Amino acid sequence: MITALVLALALQAQPQAAPARANVLVIVLDDVGADLLGCYGGMPGQTPTLDALAARGVRFTRAYANPWCSPTRAMLLTGRYSFRTGVGFPINRGNEGRPLADQEITLPEALRKAPGGAPDSSAIGKWHLGAIDDLDAPRRQGFAWYEGWPANFEKSESYVAPQEVRNGELVKLERYVTSEEADDALARAKAMREPWFEYFAPHAVHEPLHWPPVELAGPAPAGREPSKPEQVRAMLRALDREIGRVLEGLGPELRARTNVIVLGDNGTLGQAQEDARLRDRSKGTLYESGVRVPLIVAGPAVRGGARSCDELVGAIDVFATVTELFGLDARAALPESRALDSVSFAPLLRDAQAVSARTSLLCEEFRPNGPGPYDEVHRALVSRTGKLACDPGRPAMYFDLTQRAERIQKLEQLDATQRAEADRLAAELERIVGTTPASKQK
C-alpha cells in the first residue's frame, strides 16, 4: 500500500538542481472538482497521495476548467478556447460527435519544435476527443503511443473492461480499468526515452458509478447499497491509490527528473455531492462547483518550497506551461495566424512572489460541436474577484468571488466596485469572442 508519508518522503528527496529538460507527467482526473480532495478542504483521508503531492509542491486555489470533459481536454492539449476548436460539449454519438479537428496543433505536435528535439510522448486512458469508433485519433494528434479507451463507458458497461485500444488495435484483457490504466501509465514512463511527456487520463471517477475492488477502496457498507456519493468517494480512493502506485513505481531517481501536473477536467458530478445545495451547481454548470478544479504541480520545476497559490490559472494554461518546461515558447510553436489563449504558469512555480499575466479566463459550453452556428452558448469570464456569466435568454449575472461562498447578483444590484469589474469583464468577453463568426448563435 502506498502511504502519504512514503510519497512525501520520496518527493522530499528530490535534488535541488533541476534537470536541463525534465520529464512531464500530466494527470487529468475525471469529474473530480476541487471540493473532493482533502487538500482543498474535502473529506480527510480520501486522497492521501494527492494531498502529499500538494504538500510537496504548488496547490493552485483559483484554477478553472470548462464545465464538461471533452471541451477541457481540447483546450488543455491545444491551448485554445473552445469556440476556436469547436469542441464545446462532450463528444458523444449524434450531433455532438464532431471530434477535435486533426488540423489543431496539440501539445506533442508543438513539442516537436522543442530545443534539443521532441520529447517522447504517450497518451494513456480516456481520450474522448475523437469519433467514438476512431481507435487511432491520439496518434494522429501527435502522440507516439496510445493505450486506453476512446470515450466514456456507457452506463450499462462495467469498469472491468474486456478489451482496450493499443496503438489502433483492440487488445483483449479483463482488468479493473483504473488498475489497468495505472499499469499502462507506469509501463510507458519506464519505456520512453527521456525526456518524455505523458498524458495520463484515467476514467475515474466518471460514471458508471460502482464500488471498486476492496483492496483499493475498502469494504462496501454492509447490508445496503452504497449511495452515489459513497461510490464516488470509493472510486476516488481507488484512483488516488493507483496514482500513488504509479508515482512510487517511478523510483526516486526517475521521479526526481519528472514534473507532475494533476488537475480536474470539470466539477464533481451533481448527484455525487454530499451537500444538497451543490447538486444543481456542479458539473455541467458555470457555478464555481462546476468549473473550479484542483491543480497541483510538484517536481523539479517548483522552487521556493511548498505553497498554495491564489493566482488565476486554467486547464488551458497547461499547454503553454508544458512547452515552457521543455524550453519552448508556446507562441513560437504555432503559426502566426493561429490564436493562442494559453498563459504559462511556470513563473508561478519558480517564484513564490510571481504574479500571473492572466487577468481573465473564459469558461464555456455550446452545442452542437463543430464550427457553428450554435443552438446554445453559455459563457462565463472569470477574474481574480468576479465572474460574469451569460446564458441564452437570461440577463447577465455577476458572481462576487471575494466572498466565502459565491454571491450571485443581477447587474442592477451591484455596487460601484462590482459594476466596474462587471463592465471590464463584459468588454473583455466581447474582445475575445465578439468578432469570431463561430461564436454566433443561430
* Contact status, residue 281 vs residue 289, Cβ threshold 8 Å: yes
CA proximity to 33, closest of 317, 273, 217, 349: 273
What is the average pLDDT score of the chain? 92
Which tens digit of pLDDT belongs to each residue from 19-56? 678 999 999 999 999 999 999 999 889 999 999 999 99
Return the pLDDT at 441: 38
pLDDT recorded at residue 384: 93
Q: What is the pLDDT of residue 37?
A: 96
> What percent of the chain shows pLDDT beyond 90?
82
pLDDT tens digits for range 305-328: 999 999 999 999 999 999 999 999
Number of neighbouring beta carbons within 10 Å of residue 306: 17
What is residue 96's predicted lDDT score, i.e. its pLDDT? 59
Residue 12 banded pLDDT, cuts 50, 70, 90:
low
Residue 88, CA atoms < 13 Å, CB-side half-sphere: 26
| Residue 50 CB contacts under 8 Å (≥ 6 apart), including other chains | 37, 38, 39, 240, 243, 262, 294, 296
The per-residue pLDDT for 275 is: 84
In the prediction, which pLDDT does 145 show?
98
284 dihedral zone (left: phi>0; alpha: psi -120 to 50; beta): left
Residue 388, amino acid: L
- Angle, helices 48-55 vs 228-256, to 10°: value is 50
> Which residue shows C-alpha cell 466514456?
152
Residue 145: exposure state from Cβ atoms within 10 A (0-12, 13-18, ≥19): buried
**Inter-residue contact 149 to 125 (CB < 8 Å):** yes
pLDDT on residue 330: 97
The predicted model gives 285-306 an average pLDDT of 97
DSSP 264-314: ESSPPPGGG-SSGGGTTSSTTSSSHHHHB--EEEESTT--S-SEEEEEEEE
Lowest mean pLDDT among 29-33, 188-192, 398-402, 406-410: 406-410
Q: Encode pLDDT of 143-173 as tens digits.
A: 999 999 999 998 878 899 899 999 999 999 9
At 421 the pLDDT is 96
Q: Strands 386-390, 376-382: parallel, antiparallel or unpaired by DSSP?
A: antiparallel
How confident is the model over 55-97, as pLDDT tens digits?
999 999 999 999 999 999 999 999 999 999 999 999 986 555 7
Give the list of residues 6+ apart from residue 171 with CB closer than 8 angstroms, or none.
Answer: 163, 164, 165
Question: What is the reported pLDDT for 4?
Answer: 52
The 3-state DSSP class for residue 149 equals strand
pLDDT value of residue 276: 82
Highest mean pLDDT among 198-202, 286-290, 437-441: 198-202
pLDDT for the residue 218: 97
Does residue 252 have a cis peptide bond before it, meaning omega lies within 30 degrees of 0? Answer: no
pLDDT: is 400 or 441 the higher one?
400
Q: Residue 170 in 3-state DSSP?
A: strand
Residue 436 pLDDT greater than 50, yes or no: no
Domains of the chain (ranges; CATH) run 4-358 (3.40.720.10), 376-439 (no CATH)
Rg, the chain, Cα only: 21
